[in-house]
């Protein structure tokens, strides 16, 4: 089982038409333990890599498409990260293999 970190940041909508609006987001993290197949399925929902081209390094992460709540105007940003602290170093290869199986690495 691999430990991954799911990060979600919600940015509030601007109160008026400010040009220099740069709010601090409300961030929440969730540590999850998943198997290889679950990790591949999760990665398929996160299509934006942190670097291009991806090498499969544990220091690279994937981000999902930003979503806007049309009722409140808030923007939500989600990303998936490898837990470099709680995973044993020998598990790093599975992060790369999952990226390849999810179609992130060609």
Q: What is the pLDDT of residues 8-46, one digit of tens each?
A: 999 888 777 666 667 788 999 999 999 999 999 999 999
How does pLDDT run across 37-76, given as a tens digit for each residue? 999 999 999 999 999 999 999 999 999 999 999 998 888 9
For the segment 85-99, the average pLDDT, to the nearest whole number, is: 96
Measured in whole angstroms, the distance separating CA 34 from the mean position of its chain's CA atoms is: 15
Interhelix angle for 36-43 vs 92-101, to 10°? 50
pLDDT at 14: 75
- pTM for the predicted model, two decimal places: 0.87
């Amino acid at each position: 089982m691999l430990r991954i970190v799911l990060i979600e940041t919600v940015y509030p909508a601007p109160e008026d038409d400010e040009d220099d609006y740069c709010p601090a987001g409300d961030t929440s993290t969730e540590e999850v333990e998943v198997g290889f197949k679950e990790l591949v399925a999760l990665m398929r929902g996160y299509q934006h890599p942190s670097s291009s081209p991806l090498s499969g390094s544990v220091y690279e992460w994937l981000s999902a498409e930003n979503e806007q709540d049309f009722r409140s105007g808030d923007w939500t940003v989600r990303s998936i990260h490898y837990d470099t602290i709680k995973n044993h170093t020998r598990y790093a290869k599975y992060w790369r293999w999952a990226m390849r199986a999810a179609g992130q690495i060609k």
